A and B are shown apart, each in its own frame.
Chain A
Amino acid sequence: MAITYTSGEQVEVYRFSIPATVLIPLTAVFLQAFLPLRFRFFSIFDLPLLVVIGFATARRSPLAGLLTGSVIGILQDALTHHPIGLYGISKTVVGFGASSLGIKLDVEHAGARFLLTIFFYVVHEVVYFLIARGLVGLHMEWSWPHEFLSGVANAVLGVFVFMLLDRVKQRT
């Protein structure tokens, strides 16, 4: 079992099989596009973001995290009518941050995952807001209560998504 050493603590590093690496993000993007039409409340969730956080914290490699984030984000961008890169940049930052933090923190417990997801959801929204408003010129409204509540909702869903990811991840 490969072990990485960080600040004197031993942290396990996981990997995902190639089918899981390809199919899980695709399924997440597909469900994100399909479910809000049938269940309107689902638009509050960001399933691809949860997959980015889940992959990044499990792999604990900043390079893999930022690349996963950018690919999933660009895929998500391609389905919208906005310029490609809005979600790409936001999820690149989240992927890098989550994997970097995953090295330093124990993210195996549900409570830690819950808080981590809220934090990175807000980071994602802040980056998206800044780029959409500053670079693309979209009119956007920022509401802290809305973002926080969405973050909590995503964190609750995230706990279950991470449990599913735990079943397919493999020790290196």
Chain B
Amino acid sequence: MTPGGTPGAPGVVVVTGVGRYLGAHVAARLAADPRIERVIGVDPPEPGAEFTDLLDRVERIRVDAGSLGGLLADLEVDAVVHLALVSAPDQQHGGRSAMKEQNVIGTMQLLAACQRAPRLRKLVVRSSTAAYGASFRDPAVFTEETEPREVPRGGFARDILDIEAYVRGFRRRRPDVTATVLRFAPFIGSTADTTLTRYFSQPVVPTVFGRDPRLQFLHFDDALEVLHRSIVEDHPGTYNVAGPGVLSLSQAIRRAGRVAVPVLEPGLSGAAALARNLGFGRYGLDQVDLFVHGRVVDTSRLEREYGFTPRSTAAAFDDFIRAHHGGVVVSRDQLAAAERLVLDGIRQVRAAVRERS
């Protein structure tokens, strides 16, 4: 036990991926917790200066994932939070191969380093509900025990399956370490900038014809809360983290005041592939699969073990809408006004007909 660290809360925490939105916020939040002595942010060597103001209390080390090994032992690290995952290929930074390099190889190297860190007690790994894959025979609601029926075709989902497999191996080799795997639903919130928030910010939103998937979102602040609790409390195991309740895609688009444009599914897959090849747009087959099958998870284990219920999917989405009301095409007031107009029109016509007769 490190001096200054209260029971349960670790003294030295390493956070990977602090150059990204989620990592930076988690590191800042852990640094603000007086129970935690040191927060060290690990980053790949490329510059990512956008979150420096958040990270003033976080020590930052720019290092390759490959040379982490000695570092974790030297720093006497108690806990590692692994958030350095890329959910969509970025053409400016190497595309799909760089994404796989960071997701899969990066996780392998981190876990190898963790295995050799003698003081390590806790490992928290970010995963995704994409781990359940997408199939027509899937049950409507996934519990943590549900196995994917077929290997997903999206790159991110395949990476997630690999990462979880490595964590299972790590658990076997280091049973003394509390390993927590958090399967997050897509993040949404007033400030978060993800593939999905960009998707819903467009005035005209492409959807898959004849499909109205059930979606769940997780408010970004609740994701921070769960990650924080995972570090300062002990919660071994795998947890679904999502806002309770469901929005269907069409419903979400209508609530956001956007217009849905249904596209035939083969066309959309082709368009996604084409957009990827041409280097614009970040929609992959992961998104197409999500918009065909939808994904709903059971969060009762999280609520039971953490004693925490994230705000509902609808509430999280409302928060997002309030922050992104700029691109609204059809607003609620316009609909109400149209309703009044039509009703008044009908009443007037009826009155006129009645008077004339």
Bound pair: A and B?
Answer: no
Binding site for A on B (CB under 8 A): none
